[in-house]
Each structure stands twice: as C-alpha cells, then as structure tokens.
C-alpha cells in the first residue's frame, strides 16, 4: 500500500565514485537519492528534530550522516559519498556546484596529480603507491560513516585507466583490510568504441582486468553500456531536456565535459536509485541478498531493464507528483505499450534467443501503489517472458514501499548468458592486443602471466 513515510532505514551505505565518469554518474545518482529522501541537493540541512524525523522516515540515514545535536539554526547533513580520481577537476566541479552539500570538502575527495593514461596497470600502481601513501582510506571512510557500513555502491567506467583500476583496487582493499562484512555492489559502464574517448586495444585490456576483479571481489555486479544509454538518451531527448540534472547546477563555463552525458546519466541514475531503494526502504530484502542470488551464476553479472527509462520530470523536483495513475501498475503497463522501457545494456532479442540460458533469472524491483498480488505478478511475469525465457521459479520480486504522490517504477535486474558474446568479443580484442601492449603495461607491474590468467577467468565466466 502507498504510505506517507517509508520504513526506518538499516545501516549506512557509502557511494564511492571513481574516475571522471564514475563521479559524474555517482553525483547524478546521489542527487536522485537525495530527492527521494526529501533533501534539497543544493542545501541539505536539518532545521530541528522534526525535520530529522521526516528524513529518517524516508530512509535518509542510509545515504546521509546526521549530526548528533541541534544548537540553533540550520545543521548541514553529511553525504555518505566519496569522490576519487587522479585528476581533481571532476571532483572540484561537484564541490563548486554543491558547496553546502559537501561542506566537509576534503573528507569527500581523494585525488592525485593527473590521469593514468588510459592504462589500467598504471592506475593500479598509482593507487597503491601514490593514493594510499597520501590518503588514509580507513580514516576517510570513517569520517563519512562512524557506524559500521552495510555496503558500498561503486560506479565507474570500465574502459579507462583511473576509474577502472581504482575501483578494482578499492574493492580489493575493502575485502582485504576491513573487518566489516559489507556488501559490495559495482556499477560498471562499458564504453562505446568509436564514440567515447577510449583507445580500443588498451580499453579491451582494461575491461578484462576490471571484470576479473569484479568476479573476485564484487557481490553484485551490474553492467551498463554507454552505447545503449546514448541511444535511449537520443530517443527521449525532448524529455531529457526537461529533467533537472547536476549539469544544470555546474558552473556554466565548465558544462562541456558532462553535458553530452546528461541524458545517459539520468537514465542510469534512475535504475541505480531503484537498486538502493530495494534494500533501503524494503525491510524484507537486504543488500546482501544480491550476493546469494548471483553467487553461483555464470556469469555472475546483472543488467538493468528500466520501466520507465526516465521518471516524470516533476519527480526530480522537490514538488512531487500529485496522486494519480502515474503510481499504479497500470502506468507500468502503459509505459511498456508506449515503448518507454528499455534494457540498459547492448543486447537485443536475437542475442537473448540465441544465447540466453535455461537458468537465466531476474530480480524485479517493483514500486507501485496498491496491491502487488497474483493478478499484478502474472502481468509482470508475462512482460518478462516476452523478452527473456525465464522460468517463474527463477523470478524474484521485491516490492518497494511507495511514498504518497511518488511515481511508479519497475527496474528488473536480469542475469542472462545472452551478455556473453559481447564480453567475449572484447576479451578476444584484448588477447590479440596484448603482445603490442605488454611492455607498456608491464612497466607498471602487470605481467603477461597475470593478464593471461585474468583473461582465462573472464572467458570462463562468460562462455
């Protein structure tokens, strides 16, 4: 049933963003999550205990650190977000645009002195020998969350040098150097070759190494592809223009770097906010459950299917929608019939038909007003089966409490073998490119033996 307040939230979740792309996507997702809890991204403050209670009831402490006391006046909230990049410019843009949000400034940023040359091995080397020598990661994380952390949400681009390698080093660090049994969720973006500013051969090697670390250290790996995000963004260009974004708050002279990615980030952020809501609002579904779902899968990766691909523009402002059919199951079906849903990964019906497996499964995150009983579940099952050959018993449904006036949304995380050929093509390119690049990567500590082992692991995972 629709309710005025969401359930009280569990322990905190930190969003740790890596590289230029990861910071842009993470900031957009965080903006969306702040709106979900009723906080103003430009000035997230608490005026009194009543204000604190209001945001607490909307799972606000999952993503925000609350002050201990009120001494009069407005008390700033502290985002549980860390921005990490070798080049400090991307993080600086976010700090400049949201000075009140990131009031602790240096507590939210870790940076180095220039990029990693689109080289995963250089990025990993510099993380271990430059970043961890200059910054105390444990202390930084503790400043954002003195309480035990239940999980990390880690967005990054997979084809570059900094984001791809830093994310790998970070999730290895969490697994090796912390006592917490925190769940790690990685949100990896595959580049669009021939469009994004990546080097094909090097990017293929970077992606293979990144996938190897996700296989080893991530509990819930969700893959997006920039090609599909760009296609959807162009398709809904007029709607994208109406939706507020972090781009609107950036200093105008610095818009260029992220402006072309506005729609892509908004679409991905919509799915990411649903993922966080699935364990922040819902009391019967924990973030760690994703680990068990994917633990035995091969590949142990999921791709998002968003219905709708974009929320109604009113929902992105602090004035939420008025209650109407926008928050019912009927609106979800209406979005599908109008083709306003989309997979956020570059596969099509032919890929699913030819390469999907008998043990494909999905986790459907459902946020709708009213009952979600036999009738509603059967409708959604038919929708899923129209696109994927997934047995009823392999469908997981997570009903997320919906707030009054909030728009209905369904995000389906699909685990399917159909993504295999796309990844194997990249692995083939990496294998063919290695001999030419082995010296360049080798001087930063990546040996041929390590690369070959990672390549074998990735091929095995996606075959």
Q: What is the pLDDT of residues 238-273, one digit of tens each?
A: 888 888 888 887 776 665 567 788 899 999 999 999
pLDDT at 313: 52
Higher pLDDT, 274 or 97: 274
Q: Whole-angstrom Cα distance, residue 415 to residue 410?
A: 16
Q: Which CATH superfamily is domain 13-303 in?
A: Tubulin/FtsZ, GTPase domain (3.40.50.1440)
- Domain parsing of the chain, residue ranges: 13-303, 313-416, 422-462
33-63 tens-digit pLDDT:
888 888 888 778 887 777 777 787 777 888 8
Contacts of 130 (CB under 8 A, 6+ apart): 112, 113
pLDDT at 320: 45
Contact 19, 114 (CB under 8 A): no
* Angle (nearest 5°) at CA 146 between 141 and 151: 60
Q: Whole-angstrom Cα distance, residue 63 to residue 72?
A: 24
Nearest to 127 by CA among 88, 170, 92, 89: 170
| Tokens (6 digits) for 151 | 């999980």
Contacts of 414 (CB under 8 A, 6+ apart): 302, 303, 304, 305, 343, 360, 361, 362, 388, 390
Compute CA 281 distance to the chain's CA centroid, rounded to the nearest angstrom.
Answer: 17
Higher pLDDT, 201 or 197: 201
* Angle (nearest 5°) at CA 160 between 158 and 93: 100
pLDDT at 192: 94
Compute CA 359 distance to the chain's CA centroid, rounded to the nearest angstrom.
Answer: 25
Q: Helix (H) and strand (E) counts for the chain?
A: 19, 15
Instruction: Count Cα atoms within 13 angstroms, Cβ side, for 351.
Output: 13
* Angle (nearest 5°) at CA 394 between 330 and 225: 75
What's phi and psi for 444, nearest 5 deg? -105, 10
Contact 462, 427 (CB under 8 A): yes
Nearest to 286 by CA among 360, 216, 220: 220
If you average pLDDT over residues 170-184, what whole number do you get?
A: 86
Model confidence band, residue 2 (pLDDT cutoffs 50, 70, 90): very low
- Give the DSSP letter of residue 47: -
Q: Whole-angstrom Cα distance, residue 69 to residue 433?
A: 58
**370 conformational bin, left if phi > 0, alpha if psi -120 to 50, beta if neither:** left
- Give the DSSP letter of residue 3: B
Q: Whole-angstrom Cα distance, residue 178 to residue 329?
A: 42
If you average pLDDT over residues 437-453, what whole number do you get?
A: 97
pLDDT at 254: 61
* Angle (nearest 5°) at CA 312 between 310 and 314: 135
Residue 444 has pLDDT above 90, yes or no: yes
11-20, 60-69, 270-279, range with the lowest pLDDT: 60-69
Q: Whole-angstrom Cα distance, residue 336 to residue 412?
A: 13
b/e code 446-455 from CB counts within 10 Å (16+ = b): beeeebeebb
Q: Whole-angstrom Cα distance, residue 202 to residue 433?
A: 8
Higher pLDDT, 215 or 20: 215
Helix (H, G, I), strand (E, B) or coil at 64: strand
pLDDT at 10: 62
Residue 16 has pLDDT above 90, yes or no: yes
Contacts of 391 (CB under 8 A, 6+ apart): none
DSSP codes joined into one string, 381-420: HHHHHHHS---GGGEEEEE---BTTPPPEEEEEEE-GGGH
| Tokens (6 digits) for 129 | 């020998």
Return mean pLDDT, the chain.
87
280-308 tens-digit pLDDT:
887 789 999 999 999 999 999 999 999 99
What's phi and psi for 293, nearest 5 deg? -60, -45
């Amino acid at each position: 049933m629709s309710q005025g307040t969401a359930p009280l939230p569990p322990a905190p979740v930190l969003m740790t963003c890596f590289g230029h792309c990861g910071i842009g996507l993470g900031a957009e997702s965080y903006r969306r999550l702040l709106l979900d809890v009723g906080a103003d991204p430009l000035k997230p403050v608490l005026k009194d205990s009543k204000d604190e209670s209001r945001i607490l009831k909307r799972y606000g402490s999952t993503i925000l650190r609350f002050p201990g006391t009120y001494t009069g006046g407005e008390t700033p909230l502290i985002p549980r977000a860390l921005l990490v990049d070798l080049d400090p410019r991307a993080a600086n843009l976010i700090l400049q645009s949201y000075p009140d949000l990131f009031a602790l400034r240096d507590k939210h940023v870790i940076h180095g002195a220039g990029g990693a040359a689109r080289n995963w091995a250089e990025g990993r080397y510099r993380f271990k020998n430059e970043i961890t020598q200059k910054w105390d990661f444990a202390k930084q994380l503790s400043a954002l969350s003195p309480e035990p952390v239940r999980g990390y949400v880690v967005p990054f681009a997979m084809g570059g040098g900094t984001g791809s390698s830093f994310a790998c080093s970070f999730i290895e660090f969490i697994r090796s150097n912390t006592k917490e049994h925190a769940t790690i969720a990685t949100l990896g973006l595959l580049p669009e070759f021939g469009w994004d500013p990546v080097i094909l051969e090097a990017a293929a090697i970077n992606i293979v190494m990144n996938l190897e670390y996700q296989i080893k250290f991530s509990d819930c790996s969700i893959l997006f592809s920039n090609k599909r995000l760009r296609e959807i963004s162009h398709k809904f260009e007029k709607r994208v223009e109406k939706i507020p974004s972090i781009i609107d708050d950036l200093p105008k002279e610095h818009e260029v770097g992220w402006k072309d990615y506005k729609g892509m980030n908004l679409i991905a952020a919509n799915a990411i906010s649903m993922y966080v809501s699935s364990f922040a609002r819902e009391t019967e579904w924990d973030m760690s459950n994703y680990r068990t779902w994917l633990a035995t899968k091969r590949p142990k990766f999921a791709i998002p299917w968003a219905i709708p691909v974009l929320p109604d523009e009113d929902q992105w402002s602090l004035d939420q929608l008025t209650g109407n059919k926008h928050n019912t199951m009927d609106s979800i079906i209406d979005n599908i019939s109008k083709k306003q849903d989309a997979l956020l990964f570059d596969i099509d019906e032919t890929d699913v038909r030819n390469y999907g497996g008998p043990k494909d499964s999905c986790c459907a995150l459902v946020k709708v007003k009213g009952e979600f009983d036999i009738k509603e579940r059967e409708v959604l099952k038919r929708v899923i089966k129209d696109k994927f050959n997934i047995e009823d018993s392999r469908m997981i449904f997570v009903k997320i409490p919906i707030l009054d006036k909030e728009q209905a949304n369904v995000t389906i995380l699909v685990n399917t073998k159909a993504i295999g050929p796309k990844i194997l093509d990249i692995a083939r390119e990496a294998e063919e490119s290695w001999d030419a690049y082995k010296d360049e990567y080798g001087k930063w500590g990546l040996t041929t033996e390590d690369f070959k082992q990672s390549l074998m692991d990735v091929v095995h995972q996606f075959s």
